[in-house]
Each structure stands twice: as C-alpha cells, then as structure tokens.
Amino acid sequence: MTQTKAGPDISPGRLPRDAYAENFSDLHPLLEPHEAQVEADRCYFCYDAPCVQACPTGIDIPQFIRQISTGNPDGSAKTIFEQNILGGMCARVCPTETLCEQVCVREVAEGKPVKIGQLQRHATDHYMAGHDTTPFNRAAPTGMKVAVVGAGPAGLSCAHRLAVHGHDVTLFDAREKAGGLNEYGIASYKTVDNFAAREVDFILSIGGIELKTGMRLGAELDLAELRATYDAVFLGVGLGGVNALNKDNEGHNGVLNAVDYIADLRQTDDLASLPVGRHIVVIGGGMTAVDIAVQKKLLGADDVTIVYRRGQDRMNASKFEQELAQTTGVKILTSAQPHALVVEDGHVNSIELERTRTAEDGSLQGIGEFLTLPADMVFKAVGQTLVLDDLDASIKTERGRIVVDADRKTNLGDVWAGGDCVLGGEDLTVTAVEDGKIAAESIHAALSGQAQATAESRENTHG
Amino acid sequence: MADLRTDFIGIKSTNPFWLASAPPTDKEYNVVRAFKAGWGGVVWKTLGEDPAIVNVNGPRYGAIHGKDRQLIGLNNIELITDRPLEVNLREIKQVKRDWPDRALVVSLMVPCEEQNWIDILKRVEETGADGVELNFGCPHGMSERGMGSAVGQVPEYIEMVTRWVKQHSRMPCIVKLTPNITDIRKPAQAAKAGGADAVSLINTINSIMGVDLDIMSPSPSVDGKGAHGGYCGPAVKPIALNMVAEIARDPSTHGLPISGIGGITNWRDAAEFMALGAGSVQVCTAAMTYGFKVVEDMIDGLSDWMDEKGFTSVDQIVGRAVPNVSDWQYLNLNYIAKAKIDQDLCIMCGRCHIACEDTSHQAITSMVDGERRFEVIDEECVGCNLCVSVCPVENCITMDAMAPGSIDPRTKKVVEKDYANWTTHPNNPMAVKDAAE
C-alpha cells in the first residue's frame, strides 16, 4: 500500500545524541582476559585440525589458541600474522560461522564451536596494543621494485609480504585513504575505533612500502606504464562499479548505491549528520545488503526491508548476518523482485515488487503478483563490477573478472592479481588476504629467479 | 535408604564423612557450621603446646588450576593451631556436648617426650572428645622442629609414641601417616605394633607449587622466598588410593581400620576410598574450595548409589575392592583387549590418532579412503588405553575384550581362555618351572 504524504521524509539526526555511540558500538566486544582463557581452554588442539583446513589463509588455529592458553598472547599473534597480516580485521569480519567455526569439532559435538574469531581478536589486539610494528623483519634489500595497485586487503597483504622479502613496494590507491573495503565498506560496528586505519599503519610499519593515494588505475595510473617502470605489478583493485536494477526512474533522487552510502557513513565524523529516511528498501541478498539495512535501522529508520528475489537460503549473506539483521529489526522479504520505482516530484516514494518463484530448472520467474512498499530511500546492493575500461585490454578477463592461475598470476608475465577483482574469488576479506600472500610469494619467486639469472649471466660474462 | 551411620573404632558418627584436621576445624565457629551442614564428624585442627605456634602473615596457600580456574591441587604452609591450648580445649568440650551424635577427634602434635604426651592426653580426655589422631604427617614447619612428618618418617618413633598414647589414655587412637616416605606399609606396621586403633592417610605431600618467574621465587612467595608446603586436593587422590590399598592388602596390616584422606571431593571419591578399605573418610580441600555444603551431595550420592547397588550399610562397602588389588606379575597376560572407536560419537578431533601415531603403536588411522576418519588398526593395537585416556568424548573409545578362541590380529595367535601371568611366562627367567622339567 502506498501512503499519502507530502514528499519524502528524510532527515538527519533521528536519534538522541548518545544513541549513536551505543548503536554503533563494537558488535563483539573484546573478550576479557579470563573469558579468553576459558574459551582457549575449550580448544581440543585437534590433529590436522579441520579449522585450519577451513581457514582460507591457513592460520594454525590450534597453535595460536594454545599460545593464548599458555599465557603467550604475543606468540599467538605472531602465529596468526605469519599467515595473515590482516589477522586483526579478519578476526572482526570473517564469517567464521561458515569457515573455521563451522567445522570446529565442538560445533560438531555440541553445537558450540570454540570462538575462534574472538580469540584471534584477543591475540591480535593484544599484540597491536603493545607493539607499533609487525613482528617481522625485512630481508636484505633486493633492489627489485613492485607496484601494488589497490590498498585493500589483497594489496596490503601482498605489499607486506613483498616488503618482508626485501622488495621495494609502491602501494597505490584510488581513494584518499588506504584500506579499501576495510576503510570504506565494512559495517561500522564491526570495526570500531578506527581499526582499519590503525591496521594499515601497523602493516606499513614493516618499511619499504611507499603509499600513494588518489591514484586510480585508468586515470592517474596506466597498467602499461606500471609494467614498464616496475619489475612486477599486483592488481588488487576490487570492484569499482555497481550493478544497476535496470528499472525506469533509477536515476531519481532517493535511489542510491549501498556502497556509496556506507562509504559516507564510515568516513563521517558525525553519524547524526547522515540523511535517514523513515521507510527504507534494500534490494539484494549479500553482505552489503545486510550492512546497509542494519546500519540504516541503527541510524533511526522506522522500517527497513531487505528485498531478495530468491529464498532466504539462497542469500549470500551468512546466516549469522541474516539473524543480525532480523534481531536489529530489519525485515527480510524473500521471493520478490523490483518491478517499478515509483517517483513523485523527482524523488522515489515507493517501490513496486513482483513476487517470484524458482522454476524446476532453477530459473527465476515473476508470478504476476505485485505489492508495493513505501520507500523514502531505495538502496541498490545487487553486486559490484570490475570496471574493465580501467585495465589494459591485453589482460585476460572472463565473466567480468581478471583470470589468474593458482599463483594469482595473470596472462601477462609480470602482472599478478587478487581479491574481489579476480575470477573465482569468494568476495571475502580473508580470501583477498590469501590472494595477496600467494601472489607475493609467486612474485618473490619470479624476481628471485630473475635476480639469480642476472647474477649468473654477469658471472658468465666475467668468466 | 541405606544406613550411613558409621562406627569407626568405636567412634560413632551419623555418616562416614569427617572433616580432616585442618583450617576448617580450627575453631568452634567453623566446626558448628560444619555440623549444621551435615558433616558426620571432625578431626579438630592439631593442638600443640603453649605458647602457641605462629603462622606466616603472608600467603599460606598455593593452587594448581585446571580449566576455568578449577582448583585441582592446593598446598599450604600453615602450621598447627595458633590459638592457645586452653581456648581450643574449652571449645572442643562445648562442641562435643552440643553435638553428641557427631564424631569429634582431636589431632595432637607435641615433642617426642613421654611426659609431653601424658600431659596433653590428660587434658584432651577431660573434654569428652571421642578419640585422638596423632599428627605424624605435617611436612612443613613442624617437621623442622622434630615433629609431624619427622616422626612419621621414622617407624620406630611412630611405634614409640603410639605406645605412650595407648598406655596413658583410654581414648581410641588414630595415627595419621605422611606420604613422604618410600613404603607406606612400614609406618602403618609400626603404628599397629604400637597399638594404634587405626591409621589415617594421607597427610599432605611435600611440594613446591610453582615458581614466580618475575621474581624467581617459589610460589606462594613470602617476601620473595618460598618454602615447600603440603600438597592436597583432587590431584593427590590416586596417590592416596594406592597407599590406602597397600595398607589394606598387606598381610601384616590387613584389617587395621583406615580413615581415608586425599582429594575426596564427592561421594564417588569417598566410595572408592571405602572400597579400598577406608572405614571413614576425611575431607578438607573440597570444603575449603566450595564450603561445607559439599557434604550434602556426598551423603545423598553415597546413599543413592548404595541403594542402587543393594548395599544397606557402610560396612558392606568397606574393603570390597581390596581382593582385586593385585601385583603386576599376577595380571592375566591372556586377557587381550582392542580399542574400538564409536564412529557415531567421534567428533573427529584426531587426538587418538596423533597420540598413538607419535607416541605409541601407530594403531589408529587418520584417513580412510581419502576421508578424515579415525579407526583402530587391530593388527597394531596393543590395547594400551592411551586413546581412551586422551579422547575428549566419554565412551567414544572403549576397550573391548577379545573372545577366547578368536585370533588376535596383532600376534596371529589364538586368544587363550585360561589365565596366565608373568610368573609362569616363558620369557621370565625367574618363571616357576614345571616340576617335571
């Protein structure tokens, strides 16, 4: 039912001043030392532990938990950082319930896994509170230069590992700040106290990484030039484009990209300054949809509805995220898809939806039943895209993503890529970190071989 | 409902659960609280001669913790009572008068001179207490002065003092033994020879609980220094059970009443001590950890278990397991067991595999047909029970006895139905040979 009203009801500061801090406080507060001890003691120190197998970065989880329980939290953090230098952020944002904790033998046994994510945060926070630098030392300088494009999780991971191996890295990012989605994308209550920026500083403390922001591939940067200037290039550019609904009126006021609003939210000093509608509709079923929906609710929207075209079991957002949305008061409407955006005086005021069903062949069909939801704001969270124009035409892509091999190497001999921009990724911070790490090792191997070949040829010349 | 009333060397109590001589029994206030909570008896904290001893004013206790700071072991450097003798005697008299159905035994420790014992026994007798317990066990402080375990480590002294006590008092006499000795049977034999009515054991074990690595001092640290103390609590129970059993089955002490002490925390612990020959049990650490209320479950639990098993009185349990305490050489070498893993209960932690693989017999798989799966390889399993011990899931791994007549896949030999032990084994150079040979 549409409702009669005089224009959209959008306003900042819908909540009392002190409500913002409370609403956007840490989703999982840091475990107290005794809590961490008790939780660590629950770990069985499994042989060939399933959690390690499930961790995309292969962190030795039983080992780091044992180090917590034996009173060696710094050692624990080192175990984590050895495999994942963004262990602090991953501890906050990993969907552990579908990774390590899903396969924890205590989940199998009693439905209560060891809180691996929270223990990881306990260790990494402890380390970062007591140290300004990463626990690694750089190898002797190799004289090799690598360009890392994109200072998100993949780029940071890659840059750090390359720096450890003694290579000099120039780390580019299109935005003002490094961090990528950690800084601009993830829901605020998952990374409070400016953690993303602190983690970037921590990673850069290794030395040998020059950060250059405001440098966008396809604008200030050109892949061919980078390849000519540097010994190797890593692309961790993420997905710069946003999918459209492809409906009429999409360009009108109040129809917004979720990622843009979240970026504004993450960067604002004053949450009360953000415009908030009374009635919010979010289109999509992934993490971004949940992130925008929950945060709008926390900013004081009256009602927020996530509209997803298939059944709830098909949503990309994890079950934990779905429940988080629902317990925050977000309604999840499934098996419905946008039919038309209704606009009044240049501003959206409602959205017409068509109910759907999934045919036996798996295809989605509208069934001709319609409903209308009032909407002061409609957020699009239906996926992001790689802007292919920004890349060199010679780089091989497939289904809109860069094609890489197991070493994260592209078809170009001196270009590697990882994170959301490559084909086959899982759109997770932790997989991006792993991509960056693998690529760095591969780049290091290639550059070491190159250095050796140079040395040998020099020797031969002299001999 | 089973009758828990106990008659231990003529000392009657409403149940076999006594509080051991220790801080919980140092004062009327505590003892009355204990009796109100349901304890069957107490052994009053050890009395000495005036002037009263002094205690350290820093930490007296140290602890070993398990998961979630569960107290597994406790040690102490507290000495005997530090209150004037007169005060203690007055309170003992009052409590015994107020609580006639409970056991009230008085622990004693005075120098090894006959007159000193004569003097204190006379005064204790006047209180109407049910008996005395001779503290020959305290391993710290008093032992440096020639008392406590310094006596308990010399069987001749035990016998001598016990004889004095029996000679100069009509009270039942329990001799409390120190475990800080090589063979517990010797002091028990000495106590019996001296005329003791019973022995109680174990007293605490010499121990250093840990080292504070920041100040390089044993813990608990008293101004930067530490001294060994007496170790007790759940961790010492196996040591105590063995010592109780040794005395119960030794022909020279068999039948000597025993008051069992050492890590008893619940009714099951108590029943185990009783099965190995203890006619009463004494508890301290459990009370000091949880308060006196723990006795409620001890009483209910023991009673319910006895009902379930058809026992009607405590006497029927005491010593029941003693005939089954044997020596290694008499264990049946023809008994062959194999571990079996219940795949429905298995949570795939793999601890059985790695324990067996790294440290034992390589008898548990980690993969079967490319899948994570833990199965016992009967051809390698020696039935050692390590996997059962390390498995976090109760009853997931069991030890199944092989049927006589079947073939042991490890040795390829038939499982014999007859009992055979080491004494007759061909590999034993000392084996008893057939007379015909």
Say yes or no to pLDDT of A410 above 90.
yes
Closest CB from B69, B349, B353 relative to A105: B349
A228/A254 same-domain check:
no
Say yes or no to pLDDT of A463 above 50.
no
Residues of chain B found within 8 Å of residue A108, distances taken between Cβ atoms = 347-348
Across the beta sheet with A145-149, the strand order is A209-213, A168-173, A145-149, A232-235, A415-417
The pLDDT value recorded for residue B139 is 86
For residue B145 the two structure tokens come to: 């002065």
Residues of chain B found within 8 Å of residue A111, distances taken between Cβ atoms = none
CATH number, residue A92 = 1.10.1060.10
For the segment B70-86, what is each residue's pLDDT rounded down to a tens digit? 999 999 999 999 999 99
Q: What's the full length of chain B, in residues?
A: 437
Provide the shortest C-alpha distance from residue B416 to chain A (in Å): 37
A281/A372 same-domain check:
yes
Q: Which residue of A has its CA nearest to B344?
A: A109
CA A204/CA A148 separation, integer angstroms = 13
User: Quick one: which H or E segment has residue A288?
Assistant: helix A287-298
pLDDT confidence tier of residue B434, bands split at 50, 70 and 90: low
The total of other beta-carbon atoms located within 10 Å of residue B70's CB is: 12
A338 within some domain? yes
A301 within some domain? yes
The residue type at A62: P
> What is the mean predicted confidence (pLDDT) over B319-346?
97
The residue type at A403: V
Residues A199 and A88 sit within 8 Å (Cβ to Cβ): yes
The pLDDT value recorded for residue A459 is 65
Residues of chain B found within 8 Å of residue A34, distances taken between Cβ atoms = 69
End-to-end CA distance of chain B: 59
CA B352/CA B398 separation, integer angstroms = 12
Asked if A38 has any chain B CB less than 8 Å from its own CB, the reply is yes
B197-B202-B203 Cα angle (round to 5)? 105
The total of other beta-carbon atoms located within 10 Å of residue B378's CB is: 15
For the segment A338-378, what is each residue's pLDDT rounded down to a tens digit? 999 999 999 999 999 999 999 999 899 999 999 999 999 99
For the segment B365-414, what is each residue's pLDDT rounded down to a tens digit? 999 999 999 999 999 999 999 999 999 999 999 999 999 999 999 999 99
The pLDDT value recorded for residue A168 is 98
Three-class SS state of B187: helix
The pLDDT value recorded for residue B174 is 98
The total of other beta-carbon atoms located within 10 Å of residue B381's CB is: 24
Region of A211 on the Ramachandran plot (φ > 0 left; ψ -120 to 50 alpha; else beta):
beta
Asked if A50 has any chain B CB less than 8 Å from its own CB, the reply is yes
- Rounded to 10 degrees, the C-alpha dihedral A114/A117/A118/A123 comes to 110
Q: Which residue of B has its CA nearest to A43?
A: B349
Quote the domain boundaries for residue A181. Answer: 145-238+386-459
pLDDT confidence tier of residue A392, bands split at 50, 70 and 90: confident
* ipTM of this predicted structure: 0.88
Asked if A48 has any chain B CB less than 8 Å from its own CB, the reply is yes
CATH number, residue A399 = 3.50.50.60
For the segment B312-332, what is each residue's pLDDT rounded down to a tens digit? 999 999 999 999 999 999 999
Backbone angles phi, psi at A217, to 5 degrees: -65, 135
A229/A329 same-domain check:
no
**B220 prior amide bond cis, ω within 30:** yes
Closest CB from A41, A47, A109 relative to B351: A47
Provide the shortest C-alpha distance from residue A111 to chain B (in Å): 11
A401 within some domain? yes
Chain A 79-108, residues with CB within 8 Å of chain B CB atoms:
105-106, 108
A284/A189 same-domain check:
no
A272/A315 same-domain check:
yes
- Looking from the CA of B413 toward its CB, the CA atoms found within 13 Å total 7
Taking CB atoms and an 8 Å limit, are A105 and B353 in contact across chains? no
A255/A321 same-domain check:
yes
A292/A279 same-domain check:
yes
Taking CB atoms and an 8 Å limit, are B372 and A48 in contact across chains? yes
Q: Which residue of B has its CA nearest to A42?
A: B67
Residues B124 and B85 sit within 8 Å (Cβ to Cβ): no
Q: Which residue of B has its CA nearest to A53?
A: B372
A231/A294 same-domain check:
no
A3 within some domain? no
Residues of chain A found within 8 Å of residue B366, distances taken between Cβ atoms = 47-48
The residue with tokens 């940067």 is A221
Residues of chain A found within 8 Å of residue B358, distances taken between Cβ atoms = none
A373/A420 same-domain check:
no
Question: Among A364, A383, A402, which residue terminates a domain?
Answer: A383
For the segment B218-275, what is each residue's pLDDT rounded down to a tens digit? 999 999 999 999 999 999 999 999 999 999 999 999 999 999 999 999 999 999 999 9
For residue A400 the two structure tokens come to: 């809109």
A80 within some domain? yes
Catalytic residues of B: 138
Determine the longest span between alpha carbons in chain B, in angstroms. Answer: 80
Question: Among A97, A130, A163, which residue terminates a domain?
Answer: A130
For residue A56 the two structure tokens come to: 């995309």
Contacting A with CB below 8 Å, chain B residues are: 67-69, 347-351, 353-354, 366, 372, 392-393
The residue with tokens 């308990």 is B152
Q: What's the full length of chain A, in residues?
A: 463
The total of other beta-carbon atoms located within 10 Å of residue B312's CB is: 11
A104 within some domain? yes
A301/A340 same-domain check:
yes
CA B68/CA B79 separation, integer angstroms = 30
Closest CB from A37, A38, A47 relative to B350: A47
Closest CB from B67, B350, B393 relative to A46: B350
Asked if A301 has any chain B CB less than 8 Å from its own CB, the reply is no
Global confidence as pTM:
0.91
A1 within some domain? no
The residue with tokens 């006639």 is B100
Provide the shortest C-alpha distance from residue B348 to chain A (in Å): 6
Q: Is the dihedral of CA B419, B421, B426, B432 positive or negative?
A: negative
Asked if A112 has any chain B CB less than 8 Å from its own CB, the reply is no
Taking CB atoms and an 8 Å limit, are B68 and A38 in contact across chains? yes
Say yes or no to pLDDT of A202 above 80.
yes
Residue partners of A83: CB distance under 8 A and separation at least 6: A55, A57, A58, A59, A60, A437
Question: Among A327, A361, A383, which residue terminates a domain?
Answer: A383
Query: Which of A35, A45, A47, A105 is best to mutate for the B interface (most B CBs within 10 A)?
Result: A47
**What is the average pLDDT value for chain A, to the nearest integer?**
94
Residues of chain A found within 8 Å of residue B349, distances taken between Cβ atoms = 44, 46-47, 105
According to DSSP, the β-strands at B17-19 and B278-283 are parallel
How many structural domains compose chain A?
3
The total of other beta-carbon atoms located within 10 Å of residue A259's CB is: 22
How large is the C-alpha radius of gyration of chain B? 25
Find, among B3, B4, B1, the residue nearest to B270 by Cα: B4
The pLDDT value recorded for residue B437 is 47
A10 within some domain? no
Provide the shortest C-alpha distance from residue B392 to chain A (in Å): 8
For chains A and B, count residue pairs whose Cβ atoms are closer than 8 Å: 35
**B139 prior amide bond cis, ω within 30:** no
> What is the mean predicted confidence (pLDDT) over B150-164?
96
A183/A295 same-domain check:
no
